[in-house]
Amino acid sequence: MAVDWRSIPSLTALRAFAATAEARNFSHAARALNVTHAAVAQQVRALEEEFGVALVQRDGRGVSLTEEGEALASALSEGFAAFQRGAEALRSGGADRPVRITLTASFAAQWLMPRLRDFWEKHPDIGLSLQPENRVVDLHREGMDLGIRYGNGAWPGVEASFLASARLVVAAAPSLLGETATLATEEMRQMEWIIARNWPEQDNYLRSLGLDPSELSQTDFANEELSIAAARQGLGLVVESYALLADDVAEGRLRVVHESRDKLPAYFVVALPGPQRAATRAFLKWLTSQA
């Protein structure tokens, strides 16, 4: 889609408004732009006249945004952030900086690490920096090139590509199951369980099977990695995303006794809109080829 440059207001005025929206103060915006208070106020007023709507309103010593101002500020924040990333990428080149990826420790250990040998054989010159983190990280603020997220794929401000199914399964070690291939609900209710703390999806899945997590005989662990390790030792049944158990199942360490057929949630790789460094593009292309 070609840009109609004649329909875009003055970039100087848009920059003045964006700085004002961020600072909520004309004087602070003026200092950030190295211009006068009057120049910023004049540019904002010019925008309001062009659009025919109020964008800001006086609020004590500062300003607040109208509904229209909030909408414009959100759009400009994304646009100027993309400009900044492009400029920074051109200035620095970034050839020697490793690709920074935010993801959970469990996904890194169970899904990504077993596959990385293939990437480094194909791209020995590209460094990676894995940043394990359970919280959802703001890619721009934290300086991340990519993120791997669990969910439905709809997050504002990022572009998401499907990476792996996260359908939940119940699994256990063959030493615990013997020759059993599947388990009925009542059979599962009588067995030992390995439970990861503070994981609502796990608890909801158990309830969908007719099991009350609070009534199960269980040993709880602080995270998914420990839960999976305990399951391998035959200490109980475990609920986990199949993507994180696939290698264990393929190599016979664990056996799936029940699984969900839901398509979502899933694991997605996310990136900020706009240009990416060559190293990031190479890793992203390889990563999505693993899906």
For 68-81, write each residue's pLDDT tens digit.
989 998 988 888 88
Say what the pLDDT of residue 94 is: 55
Distance of alpha carbon 251 from alpha carbon 51, whole angstroms: 64
- The domain ranges of the chain are 5-92, 99-166+266-289, 168-259
pLDDT higher than threshold 90 for residue 11: no
Measuring CA to CA, which residue among 121, 123, 104, 115 is closest to residue 166?
Answer: 104
Among candidate residues 191, 188, 192, the one with its CA nearest the CA of residue 207:
188
* For the chain, percent of residues with pLDDT exceeding 70: 96
Is there a contact between 94 and 279 (Cβ–Cβ < 8 Å)? yes
Which pLDDT does position 216 carry in this prediction? 92
Task: Sheet with 168-172: list strands edge to edge.
Answer: 217-221, 192-196, 237-241, 168-172, 255-259
Structure confidence at residue 89 (pLDDT):
65
C-alpha–C-alpha distance, residues 242 and 135, integer Å: 21
Q: Over range 144-152, report the average pLDDT.
A: 91
- pLDDT tier at 96, thresholds 50, 70, 90: low
What are 47-60's pLDDT values in tens digits? 999 889 999 998 87
For residue 290, is pLDDT > 60? Answer: yes
Fold of domain 99-166+266-289 = D-Maltodextrin-Binding Protein; domain 2 (3.40.190)
Q: Is the dihedral of CA 247, 227, 174, 179 positive or negative?
A: negative
* Level-2 CATH architecture, domain 5-92: Orthogonal Bundle (1.10)
pLDDT at site 128: 93
Indicate whether 33 pLDDT > 70.
yes
pLDDT tens figures, 208-251: 899 998 899 989 888 888 899 999 999 999 999 888 899 999 99
Prediction pTM value: 0.60
Crossing angle of helices 11-23 and 37-51, rounded to 10°? 110
Distance CA 19, CA 149 (A): 31
Give the integer Cα–Cα distance in Å for 176 and 153: 36
Q: What is the pLDDT of residues 179-198, one digit of tens each?
A: 888 888 999 999 999 988 77
Q: Is the pLDDT of residue 93 over 70?
A: no
Q: Same CATH topology for 5-92 and 99-166+266-289?
A: no
Report the percentage of the chain scoring pLDDT > 90: 48
- What is the pLDDT confidence band of residue 5, given thresholds at 50, 70 and 90? confident
Q: What is the mean pLDDT of residues 251-268?
A: 88
d(CA 31, CA 45): 18
What is the largest distance, in Å, between two alpha-carbon atoms of the chain? 80
**Mean of per-residue pLDDT scores for the chain:** 88
Query: What is the model's pLDDT at position 179?
Result: 85
Burial of 106 (0-12, 13-18, 19+ CB in 10 A): buried
Question: For the domain 168-259, what is the CATH code?
Answer: 3.40.190.10
Please check the confidence at residue 268 and state whether its pLDDT lies above 90.
yes
pLDDT exceeds 70 at position 26: yes
CA dihedral over 197, 200, 204, 205, signed as positive or negative: negative
More confident residue, 48 or 260: 48
Amino acid identity at 273: P
pLDDT value of position 236: 94
